Amino acid sequence: MGFKKVFRSTEFWVIGLFVLVLAIRLFIAFQSPYFNYDAYFSLRQAEHITTTGLPLYNDPLSYGGKTQLFAPLQYYVLAFFSLILPLTLVAKIIPNIFASLLVVLIYLCH
């Protein structure tokens, strides 16, 4: 396969767009050392899953101690990667990777 054929390939442009979107999102994410308000709930859930193996559905410190109902898959993914990297780094990288994968998902569904 020649260079010109690869360069014209749609998959090449989709991957390039994915890398560009991911780079921009990570650049913006690492501009601030802080998280937004909702991210602290995710951090707390991932920390609790890392220590106990279960999400914190009844948190006395969050939302006035109400019982929370949510899908915990995102928090399990964050907790898994926090075993390898620090949680603050994982909380900035992993959600941005998933958001950038929307480029590929939209291409595949089109």
Split into its structural domains, the chain has a count of 1
Question: What residue numbers bound the domain in which 11 lies?
Answer: 3-109
In sequence order, what DSSP letters do the residues of 61-105 get, joined into one string?
TSGGGPBP---THHHHHHHHHHTTS-HHHHHHHHHHHHHHTHHHH
What pLDDT, on the 0 to 100 scale, is given for residue 30? 94
Q: Answer yes or no: are the C-beta atoms of 7 and 86 closer than 8 Å.
A: no
pLDDT over 70 percentage in the chain: 92
Q: Report pLDDT digits (tens) over 56-104.
A: 888 777 667 778 888 999 999 999 999 999 999 999 999 999 999 999 9
Report the alpha-carbon distance of residue 101 to residue 103 in Å, rounded: 5
Report the alpha-carbon distance of residue 96 to residue 90 in Å, rounded: 10
